[in-house]
Chain A
Amino acid sequence: MDKIDKAILKELIKNPKKPFQHISEKIGVAPVTAQARFEKMKNNGAIHGTFSILDLSKIGFQGKAFLLAKASREYDAETAISNIFEIPNVFLISELVGVYDLLVMVVFRNMAEIREIVNKIRTLNTIEKVEVSLTNELNFPLKEEFTEIQLFDN
Chain B
Amino acid sequence: MEKIDEIDVKILRTLIKDARSKLTDIAQECNISITAVKNRIDNLEKSGVILTPALDIDMSYFGYKHTVLIGVNVDQEHEQEIIKIVNEHTKVAGIDQTIGNYDLCLFVFAKNVKELDKLKQTIRKQKGVKNIEINIWHKMHPKFDNIKIESTKRG
Within 8 A of A (CB), among B15-72: 15-20, 47-58, 61-62, 67, 69, 71
Counting chain A residues whose Cβ lies within 8 A of the other chain, the interface size class is: 35 or more
Q: What 1/0 flags go to A75-102 for Cβ under 8 Å of B?
A: 0000001000100111111111111100
Min distance, Cβ B17 to any Cβ of chain A, angstroms: 7
Residue in B51, B57, B96 whose CB lies within 8 Å of A151: B57
Tally B residues with Cβ within 8 Å of A.
Answer: 58
Assess whether B19 is in contact with A52, with CB atoms less than 8 Å apart.
yes
Q: B96 touching A95 by the CB < 8 A rule?
A: no
Q: Is the CB of B147 within 8 A of A134?
A: no
Contacts of A143 in B (CB 8 A): 94-95
B2 contact from A58, A92, A95, A146, Cβ within 8 A? A58
Cβ of B29 to closest chain A Cβ, rounded Å: 16
A140 near B135 with CB under 8 A, answer no
B54, A59: Cβ atoms closer than 8 Å: no
Nearest 5 Cβ contacts at the A-B interface: A133-B98, A50-B19, A48-B56, A16-B53, A133-B100
